[in-house]
Amino acid sequence: MNSDLKFYKDIYDPLFQKGYTKNSNRAAPALEALEKWQKKSRIQFKSVLDVGCAWGKALKYWQKKQAKAVGVDVAEKAVKFCNKNGMKAHLSCSTSLPFKDNQFDLYMSTDVYEHIREEDLDKSIKEAIRVTDGYLLIRAHPGLDKRGTLHLTVWSNEKWKEFFESYDLEIIPIGEDGKWHYKNTHFMKVIK
């Protein structure tokens, strides 16, 4: 197990043992906005990677859309749950993904990037760009969590936008009235 995975697993695995986020669908706002954009653009995603897949709600969504959906998470219980319930998931973290270059049409990660240490963000976004040949959908919460300890990077939406643009990602307006974000969701095209 690499040191990054161990670090994040030590923090988040115990929470998932207690059912952390099991009753919520944190991907819903991002998927709602993406679905509206897809209807306009007519672009379909055939292969999707969900980084921080948790209990697999987004994986189920993509399965219904006939996309090949794969998830990764640092919580062993969540990965086992997904695999047991007809989804495909791997124990891994955002900084070191076990996939080939350009393997996915869409890389998505909802409510994960704020849980990444600031010093690991560079590795995480480079991995995201490496594994996709198309688009990124990242929902990064811009504030502190209720406990005040789980969000390891607390940036404003504007700072997240600057970060993504610094990697030559093209921000695609996904919000209402042409806004560049929707409920903390940033949708981007990879330019290679």
Q: What is the pLDDT of residues 35-78, one digit of tens each?
A: 988 988 889 999 999 999 999 999 999 999 999 999 999 999 99
Please give the pLDDT value at position 135.
97
Of 87, 88, 166, 123, whose CA–CA distance to 7 is shortest?
123
Tell me what the mean pLDDT of segment 85-89 comes to: 97
> With bands split at pLDDT 50, 70 and 90, how would you rate the model's confidence at 90?
very high
Q: Give the Cα separation of 75 and 81 in Å (integer).
A: 10
Domains plus CATH for the chain? 3-18+28-190 (3.40.50.150)
Axis crossing angle, helix 76-84 with helix 3-17, rounded to the nearest 10: 70
pLDDT of residue 105 exceeding 90: yes
Tell me what the mean pLDDT of segment 104-114 comes to: 96
3-state secondary structure of 104: strand
Sole residue written with tokens 């690991």: 120
> With bands split at pLDDT 50, 70 and 90, how would you rate the model's confidence at 183?
confident
Tell me what the mean pLDDT of segment 19-31 comes to: 81
Q: Give the Cα separation of 53 and 183 in Å (integer).
A: 19
Q: Give the Cα separation of 54 and 58 in Å (integer).
A: 9
3-state secondary structure of 78: helix
Query: Rg (Cα) of the chain, in Å, rounded?
Result: 15
Cite the DSSP H helix spans in 18-87.
Answer: 28-41, 57-64, 76-84
pLDDT of residue 149 exceeding 80: yes
Tell me what the mean pLDDT of segment 97-104 comes to: 97
Sole residue written with tokens 């062993």: 76
Do residues 71 and 90 lie in contact, with contact meaning Cβ atoms separated by under 8 Å? yes
Q: Within 10 Å of residue 186's Cβ, how many Cβ atoms?
A: 25
Please give the pLDDT value at position 29.
86
> With bands split at pLDDT 50, 70 and 90, how would you rate the model's confidence at 160?
very high
Do residues 165 and 171 lie in contact, with contact meaning Cβ atoms separated by under 8 Å? yes
How much is the pTM? 0.94
DSSP at 93: B
